[in-house]
Chain A
């Protein structure tokens, strides 16, 4: 990360990610919040690309910006009066506490990590490496995750099953 382009890109993407995240948290209209969240996701994808994790970057766009955001949109549209007047809720302070604890954890991990790997060369091919890792070494967590998703799908079908 010595050349000018990378540094400029890093700061631009960081500002974009954090600024959009701030808008997401502060704006009152939930649909605007979703749009800001998508911008934040795109910023994170850009950061992944900057770290030469091309597969992760593209997967971030595909899954978070493309699919998760639409899931949230569905949740908003299917909830009556969800789009406006959503600030007054009893879960405000617990949510703030949880968010603060999470932020503390992330900061603690970031401070404890040795970041002396900046000079390492960029990865060549990440897609095949991730595929190998998922299907060899980490096959058990991978399969557990797929079973979890299947259980969630079955649960959704059971809930909306007609009598």
Chain B
């Protein structure tokens, strides 16, 4: 499984250590299911611990960095440089009273924070931190990421609906519309990447990039760009956080949530952000490989460095860009990103066929594709922008054909 499967003390891959422990238990005559269950528990515990610790760290980093970008101090009172601020926040969130609105749908209101967190954590199972460090090595890994993240949509709607608050419902409807639109773009971007490597197993995708010494970043720049934009929408980060736009609709779908329930939404948002960064790292940035450096530095450290760098990009975007309007965001998905991604998928298919038919060596084909795709990316963005930029939307409200024919929506007044 691992290219450098070695002794337990070889910490280039922590999977070696776990494997040694499990073998030791197996040798002591335990039934065969014990190491199996134990490996699952160890993996889940490790991933959860990592996610929570990273979140604590990044709450502080994000607030300090945003403070610096916006020429203010950021948290600096609790501990040296405000380092203990996340801990203080966590304690505060745990200790706060949880208020339930009297008109709320109690079952759904209680269920929604749980239903938001579960998929966010489940996604982390498929990411290979290094060859031996993956909780669930699925051969449909890429599809699993999309599938599990897509179930968060209904959970967010539950939160907004059950709160029985108009701002919550507005936020929930915005989220549902956004997630459905950008999911299409996201799936097409992932399709472009996996069509190039010919496998949906994340380990194979990384191995492919390692074998040809070519990160998909160079081969699929347009797909990466679309994925970053779509992911920023999916995880509700600021250029597109209109689902919880404080200046418009208080806090969107979690307006009515407080205490640890609110903390659950916050946790889900951060963990989903890490999952997105991990997806980008694995699919486009070569995962745990770094052109031979993984022989000397533990692969999981390289993976984490890339992951945190990608996550920092999202913080940077948040500090830099203003929030867009909902109609702008929806129009951007359907009129700009979607046509370009469809063209990109077609391009990937054509390139795969050309590569297979000519049987040219990878050293010739891949650089040619990289240059071609970069040129086409720039050409498509500039060209489509010039073309679509001229099409101004007509803001005059008109009655749709259906409404005119039927004579308005039938609405029975309350008795």
Contact = CB atoms under 8 A, between A and B. Distances in A.
Interface string A14-49: 000000000000000101101100100010000000
Most chain A C-beta atoms within 10 Å of own C-beta, residue among B148, B161, B409: B161
Contact of B409 (A5, A38, A70, A80): A80
Given A35-B108, A127-B140, A70 B157 contact: yes
B33 interface: yes
Interface stretch (B86-94, B304-312, B338-346, B396-404): B396-404
B211 to A, nearest CB: 19
Contact of A80 (B151, B183, B412): B412
Contacts of B107: 32
Is the contact region of chain B dominated by helix, strand, or loop, or is it mixed? helix
A70 B176 contact: yes
B153 interface: yes
B154 A35 contact: yes
B249 interface: no
Contacts of A161: 400-401
B154 A61 contact: no
A161 B111 CA distance: 39
Contacts of A35: 108, 111, 154, 158
A66 interface: yes
A55 B150 CA distance: 16
A160 interface: yes
B411 interface: yes
A154 interface: no
B147 A54 contact: no
B105 interface: yes
B173 A31 contact: no
B151 A70 contact: no
B250 interface: no
B138 interface: yes
Interface string B388-415: 0000000000111110100001011010
A92 interface: no
A2 interface: no
Contacts of B183: 66-67
B175 to A, nearest CB: 10
Contacts of A70: 153-154, 157, 176, 179-180
B200 interface: yes
Interface string A123-159: 0010100000000000000000000000000000011
Contacts of B143: 55, 58-59, 62, 127
B139 interface: yes
A69 B180 CA distance: 11
A13 interface: no
A80 B408 CA distance: 13
B8 interface: no
B411 to A, nearest CB: 5
Contact of A67 (B138, B150, B200, B398): B150
Interface in B290-304: none
A81 interface: yes
A88 interface: no
A161 B403 CA distance: 10
Contact of A31 (B108, B146, B414): B108
A67 B402 CA distance: 25
A160 B153 CA distance: 25
B196 interface: no
A74 interface: yes
A32 B105 contact: yes
B158 A160 contact: no
B385 to A, nearest CB: 24
